[in-house]
A = this chain, B = another copy of it.
Amino acid sequence: MASSIASRVEASFRKQGLMDTLGARITRIEPGCVEITAPLTPATQQQQGFAHAGLTFAIGDSAAGYSALSVMPAETEVLTSEMSIHLLAPGAGEELIARGRVIRAGRRLVVAGADVFVRHKGEETLIATLIGTMVPVPV
């Protein structure tokens, strides 16, 4: 079971061109919890050298979305319907880690969230929190 969830999530993730462009990779998959990690490089920063909110959002949204997909029926894909992000601290460090989780799984909607951390010299700091609505779509 868990392995079929993992292969579904990984197969979908590999088709996301943006995740590849951002250097993001899946670093953990459990039912209801998916983690995505991305390096912090000049190619993904904003004007002051911190992580761009667009990067933070992109991996947080994907972590939340794949957490939702991991509890959806087989033969479905997942789309973000809406998402809100609160940015709590500047993202300064080597990489960002987004930890997604399912908050409530309904048949028609899944509410999911993610916390995004920056890792700097081995220490993690929470920089953003996301919450949003995911909808299953038939493949």
Contact = CB atoms under 8 A, between A and B. Distances in A.
A77 B54 CA distance: 17
Contacts of A83: 53, 57, 84-85
A57 B61 contact: yes
A137 to B, nearest CB: 8
A93 to B, nearest CB: 15
A81 interface: yes
Interface residues on A, range: 35 or more
A82 interface: yes
B80 A104 contact: no
Given A15-B48, A47-B77, A89-B104, 17 more contacts: A12-B47, A17-B43, A17-B44, A18-B44, A18-B45, A19-B52, A53-B58, A53-B61, A54-B57, A54-B58, A55-B58, A57-B61, A82-B86, A83-B85, A84-B85, A86-B103, A86-B133
30 contacts: A12-B47, A15-B48, A16-B45, A16-B52, A17-B41, A17-B43, A17-B45, A18-B44, A18-B45, A18-B54, A18-B55, A22-B54, A47-B77, A54-B58, A57-B58, A79-B87, A81-B86, A82-B84, A82-B87, A82-B111, A82-B133, A83-B84, A86-B111, A88-B104, A103-B129, A108-B108, A109-B109, A109-B135, A129-B131, A133-B133
